[in-house]
Amino acid sequence: MSFPVPHTDAANTTIDLNAQLLINPHSSFLFHMKGDSMEGIGIYDGDILVVDRSIRPGHNHVVFALLDGENMIRRLHKRGDTIRLISENGKYRQIELMEGMELQILGVVTVRIRNLM
């Protein structure tokens, strides 16, 4: 995406949002955040998140996960054989992956976009 920059010396100057936000357009998608589980790190209900599928998820990354068919944004905690999904809101408990649970990490959250209007 690129947009013209109004009232500049260079009339043909544009801002490329992909470049500015370091978005890989071939491996990224947008996700509309619902809920308050990540408010502790400034991700609020209604925010738009850029999720990059090309980044290998690692310890402490904020990830878009599918856990037993439910999608969620959580912090990934990996230590040894233990995997947890951590909310950044004290109202919610952490989720430790147990046998029989199905976890799929669909990507790493790289950008948060908030509508100011």
What pLDDT is recorded for position 1?
62
Which CATH number fits the domain that encloses residue 94? Answer: 2.10.109.10
What pLDDT is recorded for position 49?
96
Q: Is residue 50 situated within a structural domain?
A: yes
Structure tokens at 101: 């649970």
How many structural domains are present in the chain?
1
Residue ranges making up the domain that contains 79: 24-113
Q: Is residue 12 situated within a structural domain?
A: no
What pLDDT is recorded for position 7?
61
What pLDDT is recorded for position 23?
79
Amino acid at 51: V
What is the C-alpha to C-alpha distance for residues 106 and 26, in angstroms, rounded to an integer? Answer: 14
Mean pLDDT by 10 residues, the chain (117 residues): 60 72 84 97 96 96 97 96 96 96 97 85
With residue 20 as reference, give the H or E element that holds it: helix 17-20
Contact yes or no for 92/37 (Cβ under 8 A)? yes
Q: Is residue 13 situated within a structural domain?
A: no
Predicted TM-score (pTM) of this structure: 0.82
Q: Is residue 95 situated within a structural domain?
A: yes
Q: Is residue 46 situated within a structural domain?
A: yes
Q: Is residue 11 situated within a structural domain?
A: no
Q: Is residue 16 situated within a structural domain?
A: no
What pLDDT is recorded for position 113?
92
What 3-state class would DSSP assign to 49? strand
What pLDDT is recorded for position 85?
98
Contact yes or no for 36/25 (Cβ under 8 A)? no
